[in-house]
Structure 1
């Protein structure tokens, strides 16, 4: 593990840029960017186009370590290059931004009010490649749709089980048990989730370092016990479908909780913009999210 990256993640100001749209979410991300489905013939062309979008973001003068701590990459992005460097090396060597890898393979069908992660059959091989590509940490998402104690416990059990395997391989995992923003009784679901997280944290060895990516809670400062826990390197928030403005307003009410936004980060960017226009929109987006993250 790169100790400079660990210290940066623990102590520096900034937020995490989520550039990890997968096969299922990429068409929507490209459409918002101004590239319709008709513009690419197959999946290979689609992934090439989204890599070009991500490359444009990473290379922008607005995308700097002063405001961005880390960036989460999709698996295919990890294996592609930016200016003749693999994406993770470009982020760290050129930009000083910590590279993180999305490792989950999507979601199972809903059961007990939640969607668990699909089994990650090739996790060991994927982590071996991630080590070769100089990845610092990982991220994996599951989703809570109802305030169902049985389902939420299953989510947290799975996240911690896989997370500990990732720690054993030498990475810092981001556990992401997302509470869908449309969940009925969202605050109740968050209360069950927090209790499960705190119970699981009690069982960790002091050397086991993890991170969390959580939905911005309905109750301000709700996750302070998680954020302050000695096993937790950092706790970040997803935008979850809120607009950037709404996400920033909600985030700013939660001190020490920092952003890890995807859609909210790229809101307003378009393939047809000149570089100057693109960089201006991105700069304004990054600045607003940064300010909400350091409140």
Structure 2
């Protein structure tokens, strides 16, 4: 494990960029970027376009480790290059940005108010490949739709079980049980989630540390105990459908939590912008998220 990367994630000032849109969310991401479905004729062309978008972001002068601590990549991005270097090596060697990998394969159908992750039978081989490509950590998402104690316990049990598999592979897991911002009983779900986290974090063996990626809570500062927990390397927040301004305002009310935004990061960026316009818009976005993350 790279100690410089560990130190940067544990105590650096900044946020984690989420550049891990998967097959299902790619058309929406491209549409927001100003490219509708007429811009590609095949899935391969679609993935080429989204890779070009990601490359434009990470190669921008606005994007580097002074404000962006880490970046979460889609598996196909890990296997590609930025400016002639393997993606993870480019991020760290050129930009001083710590590389993470999204490892989940999507969501199962809802049961007990949650969507667990689909099975990941190839996870061990993916983790070995990720370690070989100098990936520091991983991210995996499940979704909580209701304050159902049984469902939330199942989501947490799955996250921690897979987290153990990731730790054994020498990588740092980001556990992400997202609470839907549309949940009617969101504050109650977040209360159950926090209690379940503390119980399982307290039981982690040895000196293991994990990261948490959580929906911005309905009660400001609700996750303070998780931020301070000795087994938590860092707590990052997803934007979850909030606009960038809303996300930043909520984030600033949660000291110690930093951003890990996807759509809120790329909001306002388009393929039609000149490089100067694009870089200026990205710089403004990064600065606003950075300021909210260090508030």
TM-score in terms of structure 2 length: 0.99
> Are the counterparts in 2 of residues 220 and 254 from structure 1 also a CA contact under 8 Å?
yes
Tell me the residue number matched to 2:132: 132
Tell me the residue number matched to 2:115: 115
1:144-165 CA-partner distances (Å, limit 9, x unpaired): 0011001000000000000011
Where has structure 1 moved over 6 Å in runs of 4 or more? none
Tell me the residue number matched to 2:67: 67
Q: Bigger shift: 240-249 or 223-232?
A: 223-232
Alpha-carbon distance, 1:224 to partner: 0.8
CA RMSD of aligned residues (A): 0.5
* Number of residue equivalences: 295
Matches within 5 A, 1:278-289: 278-289=278-289
**Structure 2 CA distance, aligned partners of 1:134 and 1:41?**
33
1:79-134 CA-partner distances (Å, limit 9, x unpaired): 00011101100000000000000000000000000000001110011001101110
Alpha-carbon distance, 1:39 to partner: 1.0
Are residues 1:52 and 2:57 paired? Answer: no
Are residues 1:200 and 2:197 paired? Answer: no
Is there any run of 5+ residues in structure 2 with no aligned partner, and where? none
Tell me the residue number matched to 1:16: 16
**Structure 2 CA distance, aligned partners of 1:50 and 1:190?**
33
Alpha-carbon distance, 1:15 to partner: 0.1
TM-score in terms of structure 1 length: 0.99
**Structure 2 CA distance, aligned partners of 1:4 and 1:18?**
21
**Structure 2 CA distance, aligned partners of 1:24 and 1:79?**
19
Alpha-carbon distance, 1:289 to partner: 0.3
1:26-60 CA-partner distances (Å, limit 9, x unpaired): 00000000111111111111111000000000000
> Are the counterparts in 2 of residues 206 and 230 from structure 1 also a CA contact under 8 Å?
no
